Amino acid sequence: MSLRAEMHAAIDEVAPPAPTLASRVEAFVLADEMDRSARPYRGRPVAMPFRGMVAVLAAALVVVLMAGFVLSGRIWRDWNNWANRPTPINHTLLKQLEARPLSLPIIATGAGCPLGPLVQTPHSSGMGPLSYGDGLGPVYSEGSGQRYVTSWGTYILTSYVVVPNYSGLILIRARDLQTNQVLVFADYPLFDNFHPGMPTGEMVGTDQLFDRPVQRYTELAIQPQNMFRDPAGWWPTAMMLQGFPTGASGCIGFQVDGADFTEQFVVSY
Amino acid sequence: MSATQPRSEQAFVDLFAPLVEPGYRLACAMLHDPQAAEDAVQEASLIAWRKLGRLHDRSRLRAWYLGIVANECRNARRRRWATSVISQLPAGLSVISSEERIVTGTDLRRALRQLPHDDRLVVVLYFYLDMPLTEVAAVAGGTVGAVRARLYRAVRRLRPDLVIEESLE
| Residue that terminates a domain, selected from B44, B63, B85 | B85
The answer on A29 and A104 residing in a single domain is no
Residue B41: band (very low, low, confident or very high) from pLDDT cuts 50, 70, 90: very high
Domain count, chain A: 2
Average pLDDT on A138-160 reads 86
pLDDT greater than 90 at residue A94: yes
The answer on A239 and A118 residing in a single domain is yes
Question: What pLDDT, on a 0 to 100 scale, did the predictor assign at position A81?
Answer: 66
- Smallest CA–CA distance from A27 into chain B, residue: B9
Most confident of A84-88, A156-160, B164-168: A156-160
- Judge whether A4 is closer than 8 Å to chain B, CB to CB: yes
Q: What is the CA radius of gyration of chain B?
A: 17
Lowest mean pLDDT among A19-33, A79-93, A207-221: A79-93
pLDDT greater than 50 at residue B91: no
Q: What DSSP element (H or E) covers A118?
A: strand A118-120
B143 DSSP 8-state letter: -
Tell me the residue ranges of DSSP E strands in chain B. none
The answer on A102 and A60 residing in a single domain is no
Please name the member of B16, B108, B165 whose beta carbon is closest to the beta carbon of A7: B108
Residues of A with Cβ-Cβ distance to B164 under 8 angstroms: 3
Please name the member of A3, A15, A24 whose beta carbon is closest to the beta carbon of B127: A3
Lowest mean pLDDT among A7-16, A200-209, B5-14: B5-14
- Smallest CA–CA distance from A32 into chain B, residue: B46
The answer on B78 and B12 residing in a single domain is yes
Q: Kindly state the percentage of chain A with pLDDT values over 90.
A: 32
Q: Reduce the DSSP state of residue A131 to 3 states and report it.
A: coil
Q: Kindly state the percentage of chain A with pLDDT values over 70.
A: 83
ipTM strictly over 0.85?
no
Q: Which of A188, A172, A169 is nearest to A240 (CA)?
A: A188
pTM: 0.44
Q: Which of B76, B70, B83 is nearest to B35 (CA)?
A: B76
The answer on A241 and A159 residing in a single domain is yes
Question: What pLDDT, on a 0 to 100 scale, did the predictor assign at position B120?
Answer: 92
Domain count, chain B: 2
The sign of the dihedral angle between the CA atoms of B1, B7, B9, B13 is: positive
Residue A183: band (very low, low, confident or very high) from pLDDT cuts 50, 70, 90: very high
Average pLDDT on B118-137 reads 91
Lowest mean pLDDT among A20-34, A92-106, A207-221, B87-101: B87-101
Residue A5: band (very low, low, confident or very high) from pLDDT cuts 50, 70, 90: confident
pLDDT greater than 90 at residue A210: no
The answer on A98 and A73 residing in a single domain is no
Contact A22 B128 (CB under 8 A): no
**Calpha distance A148→B107 (Å, rounded):** 100
Top pLDDT among A26 and B158 is at A26
